[in-house]
Chains A and B, each alone.
Chain A
């Protein structure tokens, strides 16, 4: 089963555009962690995300899309990156998350990825080409 490990670094919601990790040691530690996931044969994908100040939000609360450029004043938790891993159980995913060399401001949320089979029978026809369009 696939799990997404969402990296949520506190403070990243207000990070300046172009903010990158400034500590080579930290990047090395993270790369060593990524490698251990790869060597265990469980890593599917991983990516880091630029701060929200370089992004935008499209909201629908007025019934029409409204675009706001980042940073977002009300945002408390934003994503800094993610991993997708393929493991045998939720516990194993959590165990991998615990091994991440996370900094004190960082939180990892572990979430299971929905598989087509998780959806009810009557939706299966609608989902027929879901996996193909994901083009993961």
Chain B
């Protein structure tokens, strides 16, 4: 094996082992930031040693043993310092001996550790961006550079965000555990929101020249599947997985050869990935069997499933979709959901019925900069033959979006309306 081969093998080992390593260490040292430092030190040691000795038979165990030794050294050193402080008249720490704790700890319940790591990385004390970055770093095995590229922010920004996040967690003394009862439900929402945020960032880039960033979708899906294995009794987890699988099934059909977006009704459904659809439908069934029929993600997955089941756009069961949006809106009132309901109603009952709902949303503060509102309103107006008004809406939508490709599409629609023609897509 050449040195480069070994380096690539170490990277692969790292991607598989890192999350478990950090999770297990964090349980023992009760500090995610410290745990990651020890894990990183073990990685550095591997990068030094393995090119000479070859990759050990149980690389995960090797990394764990090395990281633990580093942790023990660290606490011994600190204890020495503590003792010196004591000699100077400071109080001796009466806390449980961390070294003994480390030595006694065994690698059992890695599953629980991983789950605790997910819950800690997604703690609501952190901003959504910090939670996403930390989760991708600790659980996705992505480097700071990869995360920066994926979110289109400078690498130092991501590095800063991660450092500050770990510091915040340590200072707030966040317990490293899976919360129980009501707190579990609250915190689970934060975990699922982070995973979905990562997915959406990959699925519909909010800025930049590309329509999708598939690596983020892949990571989010992987994180969701891990959650589904670790917390199998939570219907919303399966709901989120179902939603992501079904949405991901359309990635290949969402852009044409020139990189232009193709909207749902115009997509070539034979290009939808059946494997992902089937997995998504199975996850949805699991969620519904667990009684999650009114859950936020389960409902959205049920809507996505309506599209996935329709052989052609004309076969879409818009009445059912409108009904699902109504339930969703009742469970979690939001102008965005209402906007989507308007689209479904317009498909089931005609553009006039949709326009009636949308008109009630105009002026809503939350939608002030949301390009989808004028875009949808423009669509209804165009379908009603009110091209002049429609053009204004499309122009406004084009001005609001930050996605270059979307802007082009909306501008084209405005131009169609200016010519008094129905936009063809």
Contacts and interface: CB of A to CB of B under 8 A. Distances in A.
B222 A92 contact: no
Given A39-B111, A39-B226, A128-B268, A91 B12 contact: yes
Contact of A41 (B8, B9, B225, B252): B225
Interface string B224-261: 11100110000000000000000000001000000000
A39 B230 contact: yes
A11 to B, nearest CB: 25
A65 B11 CA distance: 47
Interface residues of A, number: 23
A34 B268 CA distance: 35
Interface of A: 38-42, 44, 86, 88-89, 91-92, 94-96, 116-117, 128-129, 131-132, 134-136
B63 interface: no
Contacts, number: 70
B223 A131 contact: no
Contact of B274 (A42, A117, A132): A132
Contact of B273 (A38, A40, A42, A131): A131
Query: How many B residues touch the partner, as a band?
Result: 20 to 34
Given A92-B15, A116-B271, A135-B274, 16 more contacts: A39-B114, A39-B230, A40-B16, A41-B222, A41-B224, A88-B215, A91-B9, A94-B12, A95-B9, A95-B16, A128-B270, A131-B252, A131-B270, A131-B273, A132-B269, A136-B278
B12 A132 contact: no
A116 B252 contact: yes
B12 to A, nearest CB: 4
Interface of B: 8-9, 11-13, 15-16, 111, 114, 215, 218, 221-226, 229-230, 252, 268-275, 278
A88 B15 contact: yes
A96 B9 CA distance: 11
29 contacts: A38-B229, A39-B229, A39-B230, A41-B224, A41-B225, A41-B226, A42-B222, A86-B218, A88-B215, A89-B8, A91-B8, A91-B11, A95-B9, A95-B12, A95-B16, A116-B252, A117-B252, A128-B268, A128-B270, A129-B270, A131-B252, A131-B270, A131-B274, A132-B271, A132-B272, A134-B274, A135-B278, A136-B275, A136-B278
A136 B9 contact: no
A135 B249 CA distance: 12
B274 A92 contact: no
Which interface residue of A38, A42, A91 has the most chain B CB atoms within 10 A? Answer: A91
Contact of B16 (A44, A96, A129): A96
